[in-house]
């Protein structure tokens, strides 16, 4: 993971001072937490038919996933990094679909996938 790319993405979405002192491992956790929060908020916006807000929140979630994807080191990460890259690409496509169709099912699917990735990441010793 590229910690500077992760920091840049986190700061563009959520400008909390905590990010400055966070370890690279924690930055990735924070990105994932932010992504899950945006997905939950987007789901609520769809349910309330707040379409402009929904679009904004999904866009932020896509940006976060993009930050996670940019942080991958495909050369050093081997098959795992390649698989994560494909998963992040899939998540982005599903979020675009959710936005176009005002559908919560893809939001729920992506949130579940991101929770699974985060669960594995959380278990990695720093």
CATH assignment at residue 33: 1.20.120.340
Q: Is residue 20 part of a domain?
A: yes
The pLDDT assigned to 5 comes to: 63
> What are phi and psi for residue 49, nearest 5 degrees?
60, 35
State what percent of residues in the chain have pLDDT above 90. 76
Task: Say whether pLDDT at 7 is over 60.
Answer: no
Q: Is residue 111 part of a domain?
A: yes
Q: Is residue 126 part of a domain?
A: no
Q: Is residue 7 part of a domain?
A: yes
Residue 42 CB neighbour total at 10 angstroms: 27
- Does residue 126 sit in helix, strand or coil? coil
Task: Say whether pLDDT at 18 is over 70.
Answer: no
Q: Which domain holds residue 55?
A: 3-121
Q: Is residue 67 part of a domain?
A: yes
> What are phi and psi for residue 113, nearest 5 degrees?
-65, -45
Structural domains of the chain, count: 1
32 vs 22: CA distance, rounded Å:
14
Q: Is residue 27 part of a domain?
A: yes
Residue 113 CB neighbour total at 10 angstroms: 16
Average pLDDT of the residues of the chain: 89
């Amino acid at each position: 993971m590229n910690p500077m790319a992760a920091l840049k993405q986190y700061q563009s979405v959520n400008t909390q001072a905590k990010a400055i002192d966070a370890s690279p491992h924690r930055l990735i956790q924070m990105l994932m937490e932010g992504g899950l929060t945006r997905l939950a908020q987007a789901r609520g916006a769809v349910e309330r038919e707040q379409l402009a807000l929904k679009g904004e929140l999904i866009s932020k979630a896509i940006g976060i996933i993009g930050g996670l994807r940019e942080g991958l080191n495909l050369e050093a990460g081997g098959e795992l990094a390649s698989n994560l890259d494909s998963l992040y690409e899939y998540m982005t496509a599903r979020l675009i679909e959710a936005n176009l169709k005002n559908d919560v099912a893809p939001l729920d699917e992506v949130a579940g996938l991101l929770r699974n990735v985060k669960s594995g990441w959380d278990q990695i010793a720093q």
